[in-house]
Amino acid sequence: MLTEPQLRAALAYKRATGVRLGRAVTTLGFATELKIEWASLAYHGRHQRGGERSVWDGEPTPPEHRRAS
């Protein structure tokens, strides 16, 4: 999760360079590409249209926080 100052910095970088927000966040070192991808999948899994099935069975867990089997 980004702090408000990090989000403001990423948005400023995005406006200045024209890159996407996710690229700005990773370039500034606020998150990894994997965490950005996980957040996107988690968001879209919870905000699907009615009647669509989600790939998530519940709250997703980022890969780096999963227990080894």
Q: Report if residue 61 sits inside a domain.
A: no
> How long a stretch of residues is the chain?
69
Q: What residues make up the domain containing 33?
A: 1-46
Given this model, what pLDDT does residue 3 score?
A: 94
Q: Report if residue 10 sits inside a domain.
A: yes
**pLDDT digit string, tens, across residues 13-68:** 999 999 999 999 999 999 999 998 888 888 877 665 555 555 544 555 555 555 55
In terms of pLDDT, which residue wins out, 25 or 1? 25
Q: Is 57 exposed, middle or buried (0-12, 13-18, 19+ CB in 10 A)?
A: exposed
Q: Report if residue 69 sits inside a domain.
A: no
CB distance 9 to 26 below 8 Å = no
Given this model, what pLDDT does residue 43 score?
A: 81
Given this model, what pLDDT does residue 40 score?
A: 83
Q: For residues 55 and 57, give the distance between their C-alpha atoms in angstroms, rounded to a whole number.
A: 7
Residue 56 neighbours by CB distance under 10 Å: 14
